[in-house]
Amino acid sequence: MAKITLDEAQTEAKSLRKKLDRWAEDYYSKDAPEVEDHVYDQNYNRLLELEAEFPQIVTPDSITQRVGGQINSDFSKVEHEIPMLSMGDVFSKEELKEFDQRMQKLVGHPVAYNVELKIDGLSLSLEYTDGKLTRASTRGNGSVGEDVTANARYIKDIPQVLPEKITTEVRGECYMSKEAFASLNKERDEKGEAVFANPRNAAAGSLRQLNAQVTKKRDLSTFIYTWVNPPKDITSQHQAIQEMSKLGFHTNQTGKKLSSMDEVFDFIDEYTKKRDSLAYGIDGIVLKVDELSLQQELGNTVKVPRWEIAYKFPPEEQETVVRDIEWTVGRTGVVTPTAVMDPVQLAGTTVSRAVLHNADLLKQKDVRIGDTVLLHKAGDIIPEISKVILSKRPKDSKP
């Protein structure tokens, strides 16, 4: 980090917190993200850097000190007896190696990991009493979530009754498949309603419906991957996943127990290639220390478990040129601008059009005919313009 003074750090941190709080509110509470994930991550990591260099500027309400979003909704609140924590992120294999070295140093020997796909959805807790589903809740701010039991009863792959009369809690991710997402957005578009930006927000918006019948129609799914209070004979993460699967929970079977970082990197390379062909969205890979007793020993920070880390995929972006902006009028009279561009290959398909949703977004991003733009796929599905490359804007450009 370039040398800066305490005052400069304080000013920058204050500005970053304000921006990140607004983006988190849009993402968690409104299910309508204002910026792409990697933009949020860059700003968040810059705030972490500043707070690490100047610990005296950390405030208790800083977004780095809390989990998830604030709870502003009409759902009943649920206090999580064991907090639903967030997860630390890294963005390179080098940082993963550092994480592994840190684990080895803390426990004094090499560590095996259960390596899992990072599902792009929202966290969900399921509680059972004598084998019956009694409560489902969202993560919320980590300590307090929302009671979404009525809606969870309509998610087909959540077992209402377990084959054993156990009292237990499991946690995982509620998500929407790419097919269900495309179908929902098509339906909303035809009705002239706002489309969802990505499957994660579609899943969140669908699970957090006050009318459970709406959730029922939305075709949500789950992957369960954490057993909060497993039986004594379960000693590892990979074993917990197998046993939860036997109880009827929908678990992701791609996970593997791996003992070396070379094997972990091979797994990452394999799923970097496969991610476009999966039926659901993933935004990275998660490493969890496999042995549950070691997880206990390593414990948590205020916000994240020390024994797990997420490797986030870099955003796949392509440069292209906007040749035209077309306007279409929906049957409800809603007018939508669409950018027509030189075709490029993106996330496995050829893309030449990107919907700009409305005139306000077009104005906000200031996309003009002749502009060179960066294009990515939101949730690996919908082509979206990330930003205009102003240095390549033609001299005679008009808004």
Q: Which residues pair with 144 in a beta bridge?
A: 79
Has residue 70 been placed in a domain? no
pLDDT (0 to 100) of residue 71: 54
Residue that terminates a domain, selected from 312, 341, 361: 312
Task: Answer yes or no: do 27 and 125 share one domain.
Answer: no
Q: Is the pLDDT of residue 225 over 80?
A: yes
Task: Answer yes or no: do 179 and 102 share one domain.
Answer: yes
Say how many residues make up the chain: 399
**DSSP structure class, residue 25:** I
Q: Give the list of residues 6+ apart from residue 348 with CB closer than 8 angstroms, or none.
A: 276, 277
Residues 361-373 have pLDDT tens digits of 788 889 999 999 9
Has residue 1 been placed in a domain? no
Alpha carbons 129 and 133: distance in angstroms, whole number = 7
pLDDT (0 to 100) of residue 365: 86
pLDDT (0 to 100) of residue 146: 93
Mean pLDDT of the chain: 89
pLDDT band at 70 (very low <50, low <70, confident <90, very high): low
**DSSP structure class, residue 303:** S
pLDDT (0 to 100) of residue 329: 80
Which SS3 state, helix, strand or coil, does residue 158 take? Answer: coil
Expressed as residue numbers, the domain containing 134 is: 77-312
Residue that terminates a domain, selected from 40, 65, 90: 65
Task: Answer yes or no: do 376 and 299 share one domain.
Answer: no
pLDDT (0 to 100) of residue 113: 98
Task: Answer yes or no: do 271 and 186 share one domain.
Answer: yes
Alpha carbons 353 and 342: distance in angstroms, whole number = 9
Task: Answer yes or no: do 193 and 298 share one domain.
Answer: yes
DSSP string across 216-247 = HHT-EEEEEEEESS--TT--BHHHHHHHHHHT
Has residue 357 been placed in a domain? yes
Residue 356 has φ and ψ, to the nearest 5°, of -100, 10
Has residue 399 been placed in a domain? no
Average pLDDT, integer, range 368-391: 84
- Number of structural domains in the chain: 3
Q: Is the pLDDT of residue 380 over 70?
A: no
Task: Answer yes or no: do 61 and 84 share one domain.
Answer: no
Residues 274-308 have pLDDT tens digits of 998 899 999 999 999 999 999 999 999 888 999 99
**DSSP structure class, residue 196:** P
Angle at 149 between CA 145 and CA 153, to 5 degrees: 145
Has residue 249 been placed in a domain? yes
Residue that terminates a domain, selected from 312, 340, 363: 312
Residues 120-137 have pLDDT tens digits of 899 999 999 999 999 999
Q: Which residues pair with 119 in a beta bridge?
A: 282
Active site residues: 118
Task: Answer yes or no: do 277 and 200 share one domain.
Answer: yes
Residue 42: CB atoms within 10 Å: 12
Q: Give the list of residues 6+ apart from residue 342 with CB closer than 8 angstroms, or none.
A: 320, 321, 323, 352
Q: Is the pLDDT of residue 194 over 80?
A: no
pTM above 0.85, yes or no: no
pLDDT (0 to 100) of residue 254: 97
Portion of the chain with pLDDT greater than 90, in percent: 56
Q: Is the pLDDT of residue 359 over 90?
A: no
Alpha carbons 106 and 300: distance in angstroms, whole number = 13
Alpha carbons 35 and 115: distance in angstroms, whole number = 29
Has residue 349 been placed in a domain? yes
Residues 162-189 have pLDDT tens digits of 999 999 999 999 999 999 998 998 888 7
